[in-house]
Structure 1
Amino acid sequence: MTRVALRGLLAGFYAAAGYFHLTVPGPFLRIVPGWVPMPQTVVALTGLAEFAGAAALFQPWSRRLRKIGGIGLALYALCVWPANVNHMLMDLARPDHGWGLAYHVPRMLAQPLLIWLALWTGEATEWPARPGRANRARSDRKGDA
């Protein structure tokens, strides 16, 4: 039950983020590192990727599609990490230090958690479950397409 609830929360989070990437791209464009080509296109594509990943993760019919969605969202979170680092560096360089370390440090530490959560809720990993629990969970799901 916990996995299903967290899957719904994560899918909702990514769907909302996708909506904002597409409808209010300005804040995202400002944090795209300078070495990223075609930032407007990249921000729009990230919004579409968030929608697709959220839909794949949330749908109840196919375990395989949930797994693909989870892996995709984990890779997405890894790929946007440079933008988050860039945002932190730009923000802290401001005279008023922007949001400050109290915002940016937890955000940086949360990124690996988001990656793991996408993998776990998408059933791409059972870690950190004990091997016996993981095997029982797998055998309980036999037949789940």
Structure 2
Amino acid sequence: MNKWKIAGLAFVFFWFMGGGIGHFTHTEFFVNIMPPSFPMHYEAVYISGVFEILGALGLLLAATRKWAANGLILLTLCVTPANIHMWLNPQMYPDVPEWALSVRLVIQVLLIMCIWWSSREFPNAKSSLVDAR
């Protein structure tokens, strides 16, 4: 695995480990960004926090990396309604600039791409990046 993929994995690890911990230390923030029609706000925040932490830890082992990455991609897709809800209702989040609500959606797509790319080895692919070996 080259150093760029290792850096990508490290980024994804810290993103989800930090976010997962945040679900327990800043629970109200995560509850408040959920669409009102979604049931069981607190339960969903805690469960997704656990899966973020487990997914981040799963990235550390080659044997579980692809499964963990697939789970984190799925989890990222599952939180899309919260990001769309924020984007469609900026008045509910006066502390967040409106441009940041749009950027969140772009970042989410880039995050999914980073998770996928950094967690896969592509056999027989020639990389122009320097090998970390």
TM range (shorter): 0.7 to 0.9
Q: CA deviation at 1:122?
A: 1.7
Take 2:99 and 2:37, find their aligned partners in 1: how far apart are those partners? Answer: 27
Deviations 1:41-68 (A, max 9, x none): 00000100100110011x1442xx1000
- Any unmatched runs of 5+ in structure 2? 127-133
Q: CA deviation at 1:98?
A: 4.2
2:4 pairs with 1:2? yes
TM-score between both structures, scaled by the size of structure 1 = 0.77
5 Å-filtered alignment, 1:12-51, equals 12-51=14-53
TM-score between both structures, scaled by the size of structure 2 = 0.83
- Any unmatched runs of 5+ in structure 1? 127-133, 139-145
Q: CA deviation at 1:27?
A: 0.4
Q: CA deviation at 1:23?
A: 2.0
The equivalent of 1:69 in structure 2 is 68
Take 2:30 and 2:36, find their aligned partners in 1: how far apart are those partners? Answer: 13
Take 2:98 and 2:25, find their aligned partners in 1: how far apart are those partners? Answer: 28
RMSD: 2.0
- The structure 1 segments of at least 4 consecutive aligned residues displaced by more than 4 Å after TM superposition are none
Question: Could you say which structure has the greater relative contact order, defined with CA pairs below 8 angstroms and 6 or more residues apart?
Answer: 2
